[in-house]
Amino acid sequence: MMDIYTLSTPRFRLRVTPQSAAILSFDDVGSDTAILRPYQRDTGWHPGESALFPMLPLANRVRDNRFCLAGREICLPDSALDNQFFLHGDGWLQRWQLRDLSCTHISLGLRVQHSCGFDYSASLVYRLTDEGLSAYLTLRHCGAEPMLYGLGFHPFFVKTPQTQIRFSSSGYWPEGELHLPLAWQGNTPAALDFTRTKVPDNVWMNHGYSGWNGVAHLATPNQPTISLRSSASYLMLFQMPDEPFICLEPQSHPVDAHNMDGQPGLVLLGKGEMTEMGMRVEVND
């Protein structure tokens, strides 16, 4: 049995578990609308079936599960859920510790150390507000040697065949083999361009976008309009055909930034230094 904590306001309800620091559901009870896909399994636990989970100390995948840092080859740890990649890091695989709890917020903490150089403590706060949900993730490097870090959130937004999406972008990375990015493209195909509001095609999509201004909108007829806001500079869009969800994932860095020129969006932290990332899900009438 996993511990589940329920937060609530007159309008919203949020269920959170310290296992994976995952959100299990986020509902607008005023309109009887699920904003994030609810976790519905009664047996077992897989964080990828939750409503939202954090990504740290990196987001998504790193090619060959390794990268170079200051002339050293960093070999990433094995993952219990992926046989090729340190997928989304390991923050979503850990049991976090409850630090603080009220009817409208929960604070969770984590301490992790790996031989590859990831040596960090993290804090994650989920809070219900009058507008919706806020999440704030911080990570502090504890190791003697500097290390590269990245953060992200992986929400599963409820979607119908009529849901329209809109967000800014300057280009995108097409998906290649093993879900790794191909070369960045400045000309986004119409089917993948959401700078103007549109319903996404009912196909597999797994693409990263650059030039994001930190705002994305989801509009479904006869339901509240959802606005995602984040301090992140990159947005990942993931969708599976015929599934009632779409993932708009704020990330501090693009997929496989560790092996790109300049390692964009990643931060090199010395001992005691921190990085942080915030996200809000606003529910509008």
24 against 80, higher pLDDT: 24
pTM, whole model, 2 decimals? 0.97
**Which band of pLDDT confidence, cut at 50, 70 and 90, is reported for residue 43?**
low
Helix runs in the chain, H state only = none
Residues in the chain: 285
Residue range 52-79: mean pLDDT, rounded: 96
- The helix (run of H) or strand (run of E) holding residue 14 is strand 12-17
Mean pLDDT for the chain? 96
Helix (H, G, I), strand (E, B) or coil at 119: strand
Confidence at residue 63, expressed as pLDDT on a 0 to 100 scale: 97
What single string gives the DSSP state of each residue in 247-264? EEEEESS-TTGGGSTT-T
Confidence at residue 231, expressed as pLDDT on a 0 to 100 scale: 93
**Which band of pLDDT confidence, cut at 50, 70 and 90, is reported for residue 109?**
very high
**Least confident stretch, 25-34, 37-46, 143-152:** 37-46
Confidence at residue 216, expressed as pLDDT on a 0 to 100 scale: 98
Write out pLDDT tens, residues 158-212. Answer: 999 999 999 999 999 999 999 999 999 999 999 999 999 999 999 999 999 999 9
Confidence at residue 254, expressed as pLDDT on a 0 to 100 scale: 98
* Fold classified for 5-284: Beta-galactosidase; Chain A, domain 5 (2.70.98)
Reported as half-sphere exposure (CB side, CA atoms, 13 A), residue 106 has a value of 21
Confidence at residue 253, expressed as pLDDT on a 0 to 100 scale: 98
What single string gives the DSSP state of each residue in 48-76? GGSSEEEEBSS-S--GGGEEEETTEEEEP
In one-letter notation, the amino acid at residue 140 is: R
82 near 65, Cβ under 8 Å?
Answer: no
108 near 136, Cβ under 8 Å?
Answer: no
Percentage of the chain beyond pLDDT 70 is 99
**Which band of pLDDT confidence, cut at 50, 70 and 90, is reported for residue 235?**
very high
194 near 253, Cβ under 8 Å?
Answer: no
Confidence at residue 45, expressed as pLDDT on a 0 to 100 scale: 83
Given a cut of 70, whether residue 58 has pLDDT beyond it is: yes
What single string gives the DSSP state of each residue in 136-147? EEEEEE-SSS-E
- Residue ranges per structural domain of the chain: 5-284
Burial (CB < 10 A; 0-12, 13-18, 19+), residue 159, is buried
In one-letter notation, the amino acid at residue 25 is: S
211 DSSP 8-state letter: S
Reported as half-sphere exposure (CB side, CA atoms, 13 A), residue 162 has a value of 6
Burial (CB < 10 A; 0-12, 13-18, 19+), residue 64, is middle
215-219 and 66-69 beta bridge pairing: unpaired
Reported as half-sphere exposure (CB side, CA atoms, 13 A), residue 203 has a value of 7
Residue range 72-89: mean pLDDT, rounded: 94
Confidence at residue 2, expressed as pLDDT on a 0 to 100 scale: 85
Confidence at residue 148, expressed as pLDDT on a 0 to 100 scale: 98
